[in-house]
Amino acid sequence: MHRFANPARFLKIARPLTGWLFWSGLLLLLTGAGCGLFVTPADYLQGQTVRILYIHVPAAWLGMAGWGGIAAAALMQLVWRHPLAAIAGRAIAAPGALFTALCLATGSIWGRPTWGTWWEWDGRMTSMLVLLFLYLGYIALSGASSREGQGGVSSVTAIFGLVGAVNLPIINRSVVWWNSLHQGPSITLRGSSIDGSLIWPLAFTLLGFSLLFAGLVLMRMRAILARNKVEARLQRLARG
């Protein structure tokens, strides 16, 4: 990974890759969403509400994967002092928070006709809400470190990113550890409990959202690097 520690080398790869990830992800997303809305049949129990899974499942996956990326970046920052690690963490945080909020919103919309309630303080929903608050805390800490330019605050932000990763296995296993309204795991390594006629568009939306997420992260990293470059130039001019 230290091959990409040089911002110029990173940008040389990130510039063309950003557009490729963004537009291919958008194409896959629209394809999957279109098939999920107009091609697949309604579920015999849930009716039309089952179609929300094509957004809800990728949003849940990317909310968790985003924090996994923050934790990996934090480890690289603290252990290997990778110069782009803190920037990667900052770039991931906002899209990760967005998809976590989208997961909670779509889950509530699905839960109202299915469970008869918008919200239930069960293990899965509560731990996802905690993840959203963790994202907001991380965004606040990383914003403070970038404004003040203090290495100590940046290290605290990285430690916060690592400690927050404890919530990920809780989210993953919550439906197994606690009985609640939320159903058990629908997709596992052993297979899926979702009918094949319904699940196939999920592959398109899952991959599409993932590529779109990666494109947004690279876009934000490039924007942060550009802003840092401008600020450094202004500081040199002010001292001169």
Domain coordinates in residue numbering, the chain: 54-178+199-240
219: tokens are: 């876009």
125: tokens are: 């929903």
For the chain, what percent of residues have pLDDT higher than 90? 63
Question: Of 173 and 192, which is predicted with more confidence?
Answer: 173
Question: For residue range 121-167, what is the model confidence (pLDDT) as tens digits?
Answer: 888 999 999 999 999 999 999 988 776 555 556 889 999 999 999 99
CA 214 to chain centre: 9
pLDDT on residue 42: 87
Q: Are 118 and 107 in contact (CB under 8 A)?
A: no
Query: How far is the C-alpha of 222 from the C-alpha of 220, rounded, in Å?
Result: 5
Residue 42 DSSP code = P
Name every residue whose Cβ is closer than 8 Å to that of residue 220 and which is 6 or more positions away in sequence.
Answer: 90, 91, 94, 95
Evaluate if residue 239 carries a pLDDT over 70. yes
pLDDT on residue 4: 61
pLDDT on residue 189: 62
Query: How far is the C-alpha of 211 from the C-alpha of 188, rounded, in Å?
Result: 22
Query: How far is the C-alpha of 128 from the C-alpha of 240, rounded, in Å?
Result: 50
80: tokens are: 């290997």
Question: For residue range 6-54, what is the model confidence (pLDDT) as tens digits?
Answer: 788 899 999 999 999 999 999 999 999 999 999 999 887 788 888 999 9
Residue 43 DSSP code = B
Residue 240's SS3 state is: coil
Question: For residue range 72-84, what is the model confidence (pLDDT) as tens digits?
Answer: 999 999 998 888 9
Largest CA distance in the chain: 72
Evaluate if residue 232 carries a pLDDT over 60. yes
pTM comes to 0.92
Question: Of 191 and 101, which is predicted with more confidence?
Answer: 101
